[in-house]
């Protein structure tokens, strides 16, 4: 009898934990589908090493994560409108950040696509930034080649900081695409 009560308690705890996670942490269920690392150099690398006390091997990278659905509390498109000429709709995101998590930029997009022609139409692209001790300025947030099979979305931005008494600004960018036929995210680019 105690074994059955113990199993029930375990099942109830697992279900309660799952429910709490689903309610308290939106976006966790749609974890990153892809992670890409790119090495940084120059003053940006030196500042990252100084701030972290880590070697260049550990500190001098930016990381891009991508996924579908929601990210960081942004609600996915649940019941979106699919206009004539398109067959599906969805949402996606790409996030570019320093490996030390002192700055980040996230582009979130909604789209419709045609699974026969592969065409993708971006219905919205929004970008947000966060920084600690750095200044992030988004210069461009949007999409290219809307309504075509080879379209992408993303952001261009500058990261500014003071290093050895001098202001430094480094330009970065990110792009991601949706395969219009399958809905899979592809072709991640960061710099």
Angle at 148 between CA 82 and CA 126, to 5 degrees: 65
Given this model, what pLDDT does residue 33 score?
A: 67
Residue 34, CA atoms < 13 Å, CB-side half-sphere = 21
Q: 3-state SS of the chain: helix, strand, coil percent to 5?
A: 20, 50, 30
Task: Tell me how crowded residue 124 is: count the other CB atoms within 10 A of its CB.
Answer: 13
Give whole-number Cα distances, 156 to 13, 57, 137, 159, in Å.
Answer: 45, 25, 9, 10
Surface-to-core class of residue 108, CB atoms within 10 Å of its CB (0-12 exposed, 13-18 middle, 19+ buried): buried
Surface-to-core class of residue 142, CB atoms within 10 Å of its CB (0-12 exposed, 13-18 middle, 19+ buried): middle
Angle at 168 between CA 165 and CA 172, to 5 degrees: 160
Residue-wise pLDDT tens for the chain (191 aa)? 544 444 333 333 222 333 222 322 233 334 456 778 889 989 999 988 988 899 998 889 999 888 876 434 333 444 678 889 999 999 999 999 998 889 999 999 999 999 999 999 999 999 999 999 899 999 999 999 999 987 899 999 999 999 999 999 999 999 999 899 998 888 889 99
CB 94 within 8 A of CB 73: no
Of all helices (H) and strands (E), which one includes residue 5? helix 2-24
Question: Of the candidates 40, 25, 153, which has an alpha carbon nearest to the alpha carbon of residue 97?
Answer: 40
């Amino acid at each position: 009898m105690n074994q059955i009560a113990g199993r029930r308690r375990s099942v109830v705890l697992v279900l309660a934990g799952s429910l709490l996670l689903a309610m308290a942490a939106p976006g966790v269920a749609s974890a990153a589908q892809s992670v890409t690392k790119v090495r940084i150099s120059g003053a940006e690398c030196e500042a990252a090493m100084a701030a972290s006390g880590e070697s260049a091997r550990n500190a001098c990278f930016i990381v891009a994560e991508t996924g579908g659905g929601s990210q960081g509390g942004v609600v996915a498109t649940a019941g979106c409108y699919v206009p004539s000429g398109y067959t599906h709709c969805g949402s996606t995101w790409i996030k570019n950040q320093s490996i030390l998590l002192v700055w980040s930029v996230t582009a979130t997009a909604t789209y419709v696509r045609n699974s026969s022609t592969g065409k993708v139409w971006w219905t919205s692209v929004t970008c947000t930034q966060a920084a600690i001790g750095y200044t992030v300025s988004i210069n461009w947030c949007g999409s290219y080649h809307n309504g075509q099979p080879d379209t992408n979305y993303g952001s261009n931005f500058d990261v500014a900081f003071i290093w050895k008494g001098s202001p430094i600004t480094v330009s970065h960018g990110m792009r991601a695409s949706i395969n219009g036929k399958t809905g899979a995210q592809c072709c991640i680019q960061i710099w």
